[in-house]
Amino acid sequence: MNSKKTLLHPVGIHVSISGRLDQCVDRASDLKCCGVFQIFTCSPRRWDATVLDPVEVGTFRKKLSDSDFQVFVHMPYLPNLSSPDGDFYSKSMLVLEREIRRCDELGIKNLILHFGSHMNTSIEAGKQRIVAACVKCIEATEKLDVRLLLENSADPKSVGSNFKTIGEVLEIVGNKKRMGVCLDTCHAFASGYDLSTMAAVEKSLEAFDSTIGLSHLFVIHLNDSKGKLGSGLDRHEDIGKGNIGRAGMSSILKSNRLADLPVVLETPRDYEGEDRENIAATKRLSESRD
C-alpha cells in the first residue's frame, strides 16, 4: 500500500516586508511556507504609503517568478469602507484604489479587504457603502487584473459576518472577474458558524455555498479562536489550541468542498518559533485524507 502523504493545501503565513520588499519571499521560504504567503504593501497602521522602489519591485517579481508562491495582499487596517463619515469613507476608497494599483505593480492578483464598520447605522447601509466602494474602485482600475477578496467579519452585528450579506454584495457588484471571498475561520466561528466538528464544518460550508457560492472562495485564513462560538470575539489562536480545536481544524482542511484552496495563517506571534509551529501543525493536519 502506498503510504505517501500528499499536501492538498498550499500553506503559508503573513510575512513582513521590512527591509527590502523582495526579502518577504526569502522569509516565506525560511518559514517553510508551501506555495503561498500574505503581505501588506506598506505599513498597515498608516494612511500614507511610500512609493514602491522600481529596483525592489523588479527583484521581488523575479524572486516570485522563480518560486512556486502565490501571494495575497491584505489591505491596511485604518480604512473603513462601510463608514457613514463622508471624508473618512472617501479617504478609505483612495487607499483601496491605491492598493489595487500597488498589487498590479507587484504582479499580485488578489487583494483582501475587510468590510469595516457601519458605525451604528445599519447593516444594509454599510452594505450599500462597501458595494459602492468596490464598484467605484474597480471602475477606476478597469484595465487591471486584481481581484478584491471580501473577508468575513467576526461580530454578528457587523456588515460582513453573515454569509447571505456577503453573497448579496457580490451579486450587486456583479463583477465575477474582479470580486471574490476570503473565508476567515476564526471570524466565521465567532460570528456563529460552527466549525468544531466534521458535521459542523459541512453544515457551515453548505450555508456558504448556498448563499455565496464556493466558486467565489479563493483563500482561507485558517485561525483557531480564543472566543467561543458566536461570541463575536476577533481573537485568533494557534492551530488546534482554541475553541475550534484540532478536530475542527482537521475537518476544515480535509473537507472536499475546500480541497486545494490556499491556506494563510494569521496566528499569534507571542514567542520565537510560533509561526513555524503553526505552519507545521497545519501541514500535519492536511497531509492525509484519512
Annotation marks residue 275 as catalytic: no
Annotation marks residue 105 as catalytic: no
Annotation marks residue 184 as catalytic: yes
Judge residue 177's burial from the number of C-beta atoms within 10 Å of its C-beta, 0-12 exposed, 13-18 middle, 19 or more buried.
Answer: exposed
Annotation marks residue 118 as catalytic: no
Annotation marks residue 187 as catalytic: yes
**From 22, 97, 99, 151, the catalytic residue:** 151
Report the chain's C-alpha Rg in angstroms.
18
Annotation marks residue 9 as catalytic: no
List, in sequence order, every residue forming a beta bridge with 150; answer none if it has no partner.
113, 181
**From 236, 237, 238, 275, the catalytic residue:** 236
Annotation marks residue 77 as catalytic: yes
Half-sphere exposure of 230 (CA within 13 A, CB side): 2
Annotation marks residue 234 as catalytic: yes
List, in sequence order, every residue forming a beta bridge with 217; answer none if it has no partner.
181
- 208 Cβ partners below 8 Å, 6+ apart? 163, 183, 214, 217
**From 187, 216, 238, 275, the catalytic residue:** 187
**From 221, 224, 237, 275, the catalytic residue:** 221
DSSP letter string, 51-109: PPPHHHHHHHHHHHHTS--EEEEE--SS--TT-S-HHHHHHHHHHHHHHHHHHHHHT--
**From 22, 97, 224, 234, the catalytic residue:** 234
**From 22, 99, 184, 275, the catalytic residue:** 184
Annotation marks residue 216 as catalytic: no
Best CA proximity match to 208, nearest among 188, 233, 222: 188
**From 114, 147, 178, 216, the catalytic residue:** 114
Enzyme catalytic residues: 45, 74, 77, 114, 151, 184, 187, 221, 234, 236, 266
